[in-house]
Amino acid sequence: MAEVDTRQEEPVSAVIEQAQAGEDATDAQTQELALTTTNTEVAAPTEKKVKKIIRRKKRPARPQIDPALVKSEPPPQTGTTFNIWYNKWSGGDREDKYLSQTHAKGRCNIALDTGYTRADGVAGSFFCLFFARGVCPKGQDCEYLHRLPTIHDIFNPNVDCFGRDKFSDYRDDMGGVGSFSRQNRTIYIGRIHVTEDIEEIVARHFAEWGQIERIRVLNTRGVAFVTYSNEANAQFAKEAMAHQSLDHNEILNVRWATADPNPMAQKREARRIEEQAAEAIRRALPAAYVAEIEGKDPEARKRRKIESSYGLEGYEAPDEVHFARGKNAVNPRGREGYELEDQQLLMLEAGEAGGWGQEQEEEAYPQEQQQSSGGILSGSTLAALQSARVAVAAKPKAPVSAGPLVAYGSDDDSD
């Protein structure tokens, strides 16, 4: 009986295990259904991140001095004759030596004084001279620009960036507006306090007025030559630093620099002018044509290599051969226009040989034949003239009386 009970207990345990397995299966199905129900829900749309570009508004130019302190004073006497039309003195080529030793009344601070004025809305406006000197009382109401010149500010060569007329030659002291005879980008600075770091001091103060190309300092003499990349910046710096001080209490003497006699400097200036002209030509021509000429276009380089080989493997003709022009040019493009001249010469030779071979024509028109041999008229023109020739009958001459000539007032009684 014990064995029978054990046999009966085994199926009961199996039934229990099967029931538990069924419950687990139903739980898994319910979980899957729950998952499917959650997956069918529509997800909320994500918010797009928008980048806001904050553009700072241009600030208005501030008055550099109090307008109440401005007094209308006559201009200082710098010449021998006062011109009432231009309201200034003329006839003096040198500045007063005592006035040049007086410190300037103000100094421009580019970081704080720059701003927009009424001139920003007018194309071709000039820069404010009083702003450069640091004494403009008008601020945003000024009719001139209150900022530094840039390479995009282009003016007539006869005037400077402040709108003042230039002269044919410089003054004796190299001061004033300057001359339109040459483009001067170098200013002379004298009376600099001599220190060990004089070059660093000059570069720091004068770099405030524009991009500097070169600085040359004579340490023992307290003299410096500053060359700007733009002529307008040199004009602005000359007015801004006149009678100013650097790190000490010196009063600077700022003038235009004379032409550098150094041959290297002259070659450098000529090279700069050539580069400036080349840049102007690049802007005028199409970009694809410029890239082909300069060899920057890879397709044009391959095409040039194939065209300049002329069927010879590994050969590439130099520029003077490939771009040569004439009837004997190797490149077919170089012969264009010259083949037509050869055809015209052949036509002229044929016209001269066929149209003027008869002796009677030579006797009738000896003068026209000389003109045709000289090449004034072509053979076709002469043939047309010959066909249009009309014979004109000569007028009969009046008969000449054979009797004696009788004049008024003669001694003959029968008259």
The lowest-confidence range among 59-68, 193-202, 253-262, 331-340 is 331-340
Give the mean pLDDT of 169-173: 88
Q: Is the pLDDT of residue 235 over 70?
A: yes
367 found inside a domain: no
The lowest-confidence range among 138-152, 220-234, 330-344 is 330-344
Give the mean pLDDT of 163-168: 92
Q: Quick one: pLDDT at residue 83?
A: 79
Q: Quick one: pLDDT at residue 99?
A: 60
209 found inside a domain: yes
48 found inside a domain: no
pLDDT in tens, 20-62: 555 555 555 555 544 444 445 555 566 667 666 666 668 999 9
301 found inside a domain: no
H/E segment holding residue 214? strand 212-218
Q: Quick one: pLDDT at residue 87?
A: 74
84 found inside a domain: yes
Q: Quick one: pLDDT at residue 405?
A: 47
pLDDT in tens, 117-130: 999 999 889 999 99
pLDDT band at 269 (very low <50, low <70, confident <90, very high): confident
What is the β-pairing status of strands 81-83 and 186-190? Answer: unpaired
User: Is the overall model pTM greater than 0.75, yes or no?
Assistant: no
pLDDT band at 265 (very low <50, low <70, confident <90, very high): confident
Residue 215 belongs to a domain with what CATH number?
A: 3.30.70.330
Q: Is the pLDDT of residue 17 over 90?
A: no
The lowest-confidence range among 188-192, 230-234, 235-239, 261-265 is 261-265
Q: Quick one: pLDDT at residue 278?
A: 86
How many domains does the chain divide into? 1
Q: Quick one: pLDDT at residue 316?
A: 78
Instruction: List the domain range (segments joined by +) for residue 205.
Output: 67-267
Q: Quick one: pLDDT at residue 48?
A: 67
Q: How many other β-carbons are positioned within 10 Å of the β-carbon of residue 282?
A: 15
Pairwise pLDDT comparison (150 vs 373), residue with the higher score: 150
Q: How many other β-carbons are positioned within 10 Å of the β-carbon of residue 219?
A: 14
Q: Quick one: pLDDT at residue 410?
A: 47
Q: Quick one: pLDDT at residue 282?
A: 85
Query: What percentage of the chain carries pLDDT values higher than 70?
Result: 66
Separation between Cα atoms, residue 298 and residue 346, nearest integer Å = 43
Separation between Cα atoms, residue 208 and residue 132, nearest integer Å = 12
Q: Is the pLDDT of residue 148 over 90?
A: yes
Q: Which residues of 182-216 are buried (b: 16+ CB within 10 A; e: fewer)?
A: eebbbbbbebbeeeeebeebbeebbeebbebbebe
Q: Quick one: pLDDT at residue 100?
A: 72
Give the mean pLDDT of 109-114: 94
Quick one: which of 170, 267, 188 has its CA closest to 228?
A: 188
Mean pLDDT of the chain: 76
Please list, in sequence order, all residues whose beta carbon lies within 8 angstroms of the beta carbon of residue 68, skipping any fewer than 6 positions away.
none
Residue pair 188/257 in contact by the 8 Å Cβ criterion: yes
pLDDT band at 368 (very low <50, low <70, confident <90, very high): very low
205 found inside a domain: yes
> Of the spans 16-25, 171-180, 349-358, which averages the highest pLDDT?
171-180
pLDDT in tens, 396-411: 555 555 545 444 444 5
54 found inside a domain: no
Q: Is the pLDDT of residue 342 over 70?
A: no
Q: Quick one: pLDDT at residue 326?
A: 77
Give the mean pLDDT of 174-187: 92
166 found inside a domain: yes
Instruction: Give the long-range contacts of residues 330-339, CB within 8 A, separation 24 or more.
Output: 331/307
Q: Is the pLDDT of residue 388 over 80?
A: no
DSSP 256-297: EPPPP--HHHHHHHHHHHHHHHHHHHHHHS-HHHHHHHHT--
Q: Quick one: pLDDT at residue 187?
A: 96
Give the mean pLDDT of 286-312: 77
